[in-house]
Amino acid sequence: YQRRVRGTDLDILMLSRALPATLRSPMARSNSTIAPASLYNILNKNGIDTFYGVPDSLLKDFCSYITDNAPAQQHIIAANEGTACGLASGYHLGSGKIPVVYLQNSGLGNVLNPVMSLMHERVYSIPMLMMVGWRGEPGKKDEPQHTFMGECMEDIMNSMRMKLSLIHISEPTRLLSISYAVFCLKKKKKKK
């Protein structure tokens, strides 16, 4: 399912527990997972080849794939999510390209300041594609410490006026979701 929310130059692709449980290698994946190579290739086809973030278990296979396949200078593991946003901002300002920032949803508190005081379209309008692992997704069994954050995640993003969509399992829909997000980021940047 896909939903548009009033937004900024930030697009959020939520990785649901139900979708990739963990992103598995192409040979090990079942029908309910997204292969890391597929996601990486879709991003690359859309001109996104640089990644910043804080790994978590929902994204571990994708992060491993990036580490194994992207040049070291194009995959920066940050100490925290706010630092990842700051580094991604510098990358965009220097290159004009759109970076990916990846994190688990508990890191949204750490991105609040850089998003609201630096990246937001009402400030410097710095685009990024954020991939968020959805721990505590409503309706999915998870650890108690993830449940409340999972319930509030969309509200937190909405309060920061971020557009968001889920990554779909089906390849054509997943490609469209990511391509549309990148199109929106590039289109808004051209208006400035």
Q: Is 43 helix (H, G, I), strand (E, B) or coil?
A: helix
- Place 90 in a pLDDT band, splitting at 50, 70 and 90: very high
pLDDT in tens, 34-78: 778 888 998 999 899 999 999 888 888 889 999 999 999 999 999
SS3 78: coil
Using CA atoms, how far apart are residues 147 and 24, in angstroms rounded to an integer? 24
pLDDT score, position 191: 58
Region 143-157: what's the mean pLDDT? 86
Which of 56, 64, 54 is CA-nearest to residue 25?
Answer: 64
Q: What is the pLDDT of residue 55?
A: 87
Mean pLDDT of 140-166: 83
- Position 155 pLDDT exceeds 70: yes
Give, to the nearest 10 degrees, the angle between helix 36-45 and helix 171-191.
Answer: 30
